[in-house]
């Protein structure tokens, strides 16, 4: 007797045009998801990610989104609904709040404008985007908020950035509690040092910094974008259904 078929899961990843977001999108596509990504201004790069996903036999689309501007969220939700409708669907099965930017400034040097931008981008944006998308999240969906290893260990110069990521981790626990009645699982993934262009590409391009970070990492190297993509794909699979309200660090064992 034939088993009933289940719709292909659809996951939205913010900030998916490059770096970790692109790696997440590709890993999810390889694990059987159709993927929607957002981009701020890198439309060409985003379309390149879409093409790579489609080459894997999955559906993909890229939508513009400025995460720091909450007044643009209603228009984004409408565009998302239109894209879902084009695929014959009404809801998302997953959301990964990944979009962000770094800030390197000491406690003494951080300006109010810098801290406000970190707040808008890393806390206010994901908080209200998730709120706006609640009607589009299917019961049993997976929500993953991206934090940072810098909430556990300290590296001078990242107080403003890490403080907002710490707030993201608290937000995730509240979301997990309040959305549990709908079967929505909410977790935080905290990457360690990753060799991408994030923060000017210092981890990737500064050999001395790269060597130091590898020396304080149990697995003996800095991370690659694919390491985080694989972790995201694992947390979005059915086998992770009993994990919610947790902070999972993917750092190769930094500063153990």
Nearest to 20 by CA among 44, 3, 37: 37
Query: What pLDDT does 205 receive?
Result: 72
Annotated active-site residue in 39, 158, 161, 174: 161
Domains present along the chain, CATH in parentheses: 10-250 (3.40.50.720)
The 3 state secondary structure assigned to the chain is CCCCCCCCCEEEECCCCCHHHHHHHHHHHHCCCEEEEEECCCHHHHHHHHHHHHHCCCCEEEEECCCCCHHHHHHHHHHHHHHHHHCCCCCEEEEEECCCCCCCCCCCCCCHHHHHHHHHHHHHHHHHHHHHHHHHEEEEEEEEEECCHHHCCCCCCCHHHHHHHHHHHHHHHHHHHHHHHHCCEEEEEEECCECCCHHHHHHHHCHHHHHHHHHCECCCCCECHHHHHHHHHHHCCHHHCCCCCCEEEECCCECC
Q: Please, what is the Cα angle at 137 between 96 and 165, to 5 degrees?
A: 30
The contacts found for 82-86 with CB under 8 angstroms, 24 or more apart, are 83/36, 84/10, 84/136
Q: Which structure tokens are listed for 149?
A: 């290893």
pLDDT number for residue 1: 46
> For the chain (length 256 residues), average pLDDT per consecutive 10?
71 97 98 98 97 98 98 98 98 98 95 98 98 98 97 94 98 98 98 82 79 93 95 97 98 96
Q: Alpha-carbon distance 190 to 236, whole Å?
A: 15
Query: So what's the pLDDT on residue 5?
Result: 57
pTM for the model: 0.95
pLDDT at residue 197, as a whole number: 75
User: What's the CA gap between 145 and 95, in Å, rounded?
Assistant: 8
Active site residue 161: yes
């Amino acid at each position: 007797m034939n088993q009933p078929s289940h719709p292909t899961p659809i996951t939205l990843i913010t900030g998916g045009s490059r770096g970790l977001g692109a790696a997440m999108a590709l890993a999810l596509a390889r694990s059987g998801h159709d993927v929607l990504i957002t981009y701020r201004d890198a439309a060409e790069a985003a379309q390149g990610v879409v093409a790579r996903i489609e080459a894997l036999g999955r559906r993909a689309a890229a939508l513009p989104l400025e995460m720091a501007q909450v007044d643009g969220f209603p228009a984004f939700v409408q565009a998302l609904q239109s894209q879902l409708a084009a695929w014959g669907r009404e809801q998302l099965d997953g959301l990964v709040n990944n979009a962000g930017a770094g800030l390197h400034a000491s406690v003494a040097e951080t300006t109010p404008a810098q801290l406000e931008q970190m707040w808008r981008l890393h806390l206010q944006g994901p908080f209200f985007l998730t709120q706006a998308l609640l009607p589009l999240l299917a019961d049993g969906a997976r929500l993953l908020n991206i934090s940072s290893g810098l909430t556990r260990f300290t590296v001078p110069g990242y107080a403003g950035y890490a403080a907002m990521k710490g707030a993201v981790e608290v937000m995730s626990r509240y979301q997990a509690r309040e959305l549990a009645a709908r079967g929505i699982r909410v977790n935080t993934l905290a990457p360690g040092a990753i060799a991408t262009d994030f923060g000017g590409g210092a981890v990737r391009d500064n050999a001395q910094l790269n060597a130091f970070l590898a020396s304080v990492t149990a697995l003996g190297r800095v991370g690659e974008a694919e390491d985080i993509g694989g972790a995201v794909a694992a947390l979005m699979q059915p086998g992770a259904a009993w994990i919610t309200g947790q902070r999972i660090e993917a750092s190769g064992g930094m500063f153990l």
